[in-house]
Amino acid sequence: MFRSNNLTARIFERQILTPRPGTSINLFRHFYENVCPSHTVYDIDCPDLSFRKFTDDGQFLIGFSRNHQDLVVYRPSWLNYSCKGECPYSLDLPPKARRFDSFFRHLFTISLASANEFICKDFFLYVDPYRFGLFATSTAQVNDNVASADGAIHGVPSIEKITFHLVRLDDGVVLDEKAFYNDFVNLAHSTGAFLYDDLLCIVSLRYQTIHILQIRESGNLVEVRRIGPYCQEDDELFLQSHAQVSPGSSFLPGIKQRLLSFIFRKTWNEEADQSMRVQHLKKKFYFHFQDYVDLIIWKAQFLDRHHLLIKFGSVDGGVSRNTDQGLSFFAVYNMETTEVVTFYQNSSEEMYSFFERFYDFFNSVSRNTLHAQYISSHTNNSHALNQLLNIKSKSGSFSQFVKKMMMTIPYTCQSHSPSPYFDLSLFRYDDKLISAIDRHRHSTEHPIKFISLRQPNVVKFKIKPGVEGGGPDGGRAKKVSSFLFHPYLPLVLSIQQTYMQPTVVNLHFKR
């Protein structure tokens, strides 16, 4: 713990201080209390792009052209200027401080989408060790009159072509592509895909398959496994050569079979009395059999290299993004043994206790990625835990509260910004106005304050998202803001979009 709040005193202390073992990074992150984005350049003159995010290692800023066809990548740098003679601190910044290219160097622009395709603006995954980016383009979505194909389920829309592009961000070379035809993958906010190290899982909702792909260092996307209709690699071959399937009947998909057999065994073993077992089975299992068979995969994530956490639910809720708190189920599936390890309902208290105690393990990344270790959650931070327990005690019904919390699982990969300004052990902020999760929020007129945790009366810095002076319409029109925080520099882009008006981009940085 630093003894003083003063930056110079802390630097001297750092020279002589030995932190407790394993806590040196935690201690030095306190320097972010002294280095904050305190100055704002309003309405910076920047190209008309929709900026997506900074990559988690801070090397690139990703943006897309307005027509959703081009990818534009910048490298964040810092303003340099010199002045003659004495440079008093109060000196105004030079005019080039108002220029976008003083802070960002344009690296390349490439076209990802062809004529009738569009880049999905919400989808972006960064493959950290190789500095690759994964993007998605798709053709238009077809909702009604979806021609039913072999193996496709009803009730899910279809997209003619979805392509995933693997781009090397250093130079803009498209390394590999993987296309899905007449399929549907939930691309909004990267929910349909999960990246763990070099393994990528993509959930095809229409064909109820989980594709496991490996990203090789050479840039190839290699399909390793396909889980859904079949579980083992040779299941399809075995069934076709051995089973005589009479027309009209078909086997249940492989994953569904594993799931049902697990539920069967669990229900069978629940009843201690042998004579009552069949009755118990009828009530608990066979009565709901068709409901279990009708479940579809909604979302999946890796828990480690061999285990998947799969969320199952009804057909209606799979595609919609509404906050419906209906029934859903979680299953942990071991890809190597093809066994379902466990199965819980979304209202399960046991599952909630795992959520409360081990949430960090749902945000599963390999231990090699450093920045992800410091994302605040209620498991690693006592203030966040207090907030959660407050909500728990204030909620009327415990099971509704549990269902609401379970909506955040499976975790959406790379959805939290690793910026230390969101670290709850350093700063307090209103998380209805701004938070580590990159979502658009309704804009507010008042500046968003970041208050130091250790000095509760001191506002370390503010972010005022609006246009300087309030804007021409006096701030009455509805505005939506989004904030892009650089992972380690005191640099923030706040983007404000107003209906029927040009987008305003402000830059906040440390002078």
Residue 357 C-beta: closest distance to other proteins, Å: 8
Distances (CA, A) of 377 to 194, 201, 295, 484: 19, 24, 31, 19
CB closer to other proteins, 36 vs 351:
351
Residue 364 C-beta: closest distance to other proteins, Å: 8
Residue 154 C-beta: closest distance to other proteins, Å: 32
Residue 308 C-beta: closest distance to other proteins, Å: 11
Residue 39 C-beta: closest distance to other proteins, Å: 43
40-74 core/surface letters (b: 16 or more CB in 10 A; e: else):
bbbbbebbebbbbbbbbbbbbbbbbbeeebbbbbb
Give residues with Cβ within 8 angstroms of 82, minimum separation 6. Answer: none
Which tokens is 18 given? 């030995």
Distances (CA, A) of 264 to 227, 230, 267, 277, 287: 21, 20, 5, 11, 12
What are the start-end ranges of the H helices in 124-253? 235-242
469: left (phi over 0), alpha (psi -120 to 50) or beta: left
CB closer to other proteins, 327 vs 332:
332
Phi/psi of residue 229, nearest 5 degrees: -65, -35
Residue 333 C-beta: closest distance to other proteins, Å: 11
CB closer to other proteins, 349 vs 430:
349
Sheet holding 307-313, edge to edge: 296-302, 307-313, 328-334, 339-345
Residue 69 C-beta: closest distance to other proteins, Å: 41
CB closer to other proteins, 179 vs 278:
278
CB closer to other proteins, 110 vs 341:
341
Residue 271 C-beta: closest distance to other proteins, Å: 8
CB closer to other proteins, 305 vs 321:
305
Contact 156, 184 (CB under 8 A): yes
CB closer to other proteins, 189 vs 284:
284
CA-CA distance, 97 to 11, in Å (whole number)?
28
Residue 265 C-beta: closest distance to other proteins, Å: 6
Give residues with Cβ within 8 angstroms of 502, minimum separation 6. Answer: 48
254-270 helix and 277-284 helix, angle to the nearest 10 degrees: 130
CA-CA distance, 176 to 215, in Å (whole number)?
10
Provide the total of helices (H) and of strands (E) in the chain, helices listed first. 9, 26
In angstroms, the first-to-last Cα distance of the chain is 26
Give residues with Cβ within 8 angstroms of 428, minimum separation 6. Answer: 383, 450, 451, 452, 453, 456
Amino acid at 69: Q
Residue 272 C-beta: closest distance to other proteins, Å: 4
CB closer to other proteins, 346 vs 498:
346
CA-closest candidate to residue 133, choices 324, 422, 414, 444:
414
* Footprint on this chain of other proteins (rule: CB under 8 A): 265-266, 268-273, 303-304, 307, 332, 341-342, 350, 354, 358, 361-362, 364
CA 68 to chain centre: 21
Residue 28 C-beta: closest distance to other proteins, Å: 26
What are the start-end ranges of the H helices in 431-479? none
CA-CA distance, 277 to 79, in Å (whole number)?
73
300: left (phi over 0), alpha (psi -120 to 50) or beta: beta
Residue 268 C-beta: closest distance to other proteins, Å: 8
Sheet holding 199-204, edge to edge: 193-196, 199-204, 209-215, 221-227
Residue 275 C-beta: closest distance to other proteins, Å: 10
